[in-house]
Amino acid sequence: MKITVIFPLLLLVCSGCTDQNKQIAKQQPCPQDINAVLREMTATLTQQKFEMRLLQRENKEHAAKLEQQETELKKQETELKKQETEVDKLKQQLKVGQVAFSASLLATGSGHVGPFPKQTTLIFKHVPTNIGKAYNPHTGIFTAPVRGAYHFEWYIGTHGGAQPSGAVLVKNSEHIFIAWEHQPSHYGSSANGVTLLLEVGDVVFLRLWVNTKVFDNSNHHTTFSGHLLFTM
């Protein structure tokens, strides 16, 4: 009688265990499904890595092109600045290359200048022409604005008497040529000219020679002129 009761209980327990195992088996995926998911994920990752490499390569190529374009742009900007500088230099040379002046001793009236016991700079105050403004009518000094060959001429004169007339052209502190005339009576004049190679800033002017005199009036007998021949 006892055996008959226990056996149905065992069947009931086994049946419960079997149902529970079936439910657990249903909840857990099988190995074949896991492998399929892993393969799919691996393939997806591989594709993503490949696409990332392509993007990185394209980004590098794009960055290299941008850098090349920036370098080329900088070269063009540098070349443009050089051309602008050359144009400015040419404009400046053209501007300073136009140099010419002509002046006479007295602005108004008539009379003599000198004699003096030492050499004295002559200041030519009547200036009808001063292209380039290289001659200063307040000091009598011409200053070279550009390196080049310049030609100068000067004419002097005075009435006859004890004192002669003489004027020397000076470059910086060097005596170059002199114009000299001594007329015992009546009116005498003299002239001279010279071509000089001047550097920028060199000065040229006339000095009245010691114990000489020059005359000028509205007819402008005593004059000083110069002009640039060509730049060098």
Asked if pLDDT for residue 19 goes beyond 70, the answer is no
Predicted model pTM: 0.62
The HSE-up count of residue 40 (CA atoms within 13 Å, CB side) is 6
For the chain, give the percent of residues with pLDDT over 90: 54
State how far the Cα of 166 lies from the Cα of 141, in Å rounded to an integer.
Answer: 18
State how far the Cα of 130 lies from the Cα of 159, in Å rounded to an integer.
Answer: 29
pLDDT tens-digit series, residues 107-145: 999 999 999 999 999 999 999 999 999 999 999 999 999
Rounded CA Rg of the chain: 53
Higher pLDDT, 214 or 37: 214
* Strand, helix or coil for residue 123: coil
Asked if pLDDT for residue 22 goes beyond 70, the answer is no
Query: CB–CB of 163/181 below 8 Å?
Result: no
Task: Tell me the longest C-alpha to C-alpha distance in the chain.
Answer: 184
pLDDT tens-digit series, residues 166-183: 999 999 999 999 999 998
State how far the Cα of 155 lies from the Cα of 157, in Å rounded to an integer.
Answer: 7
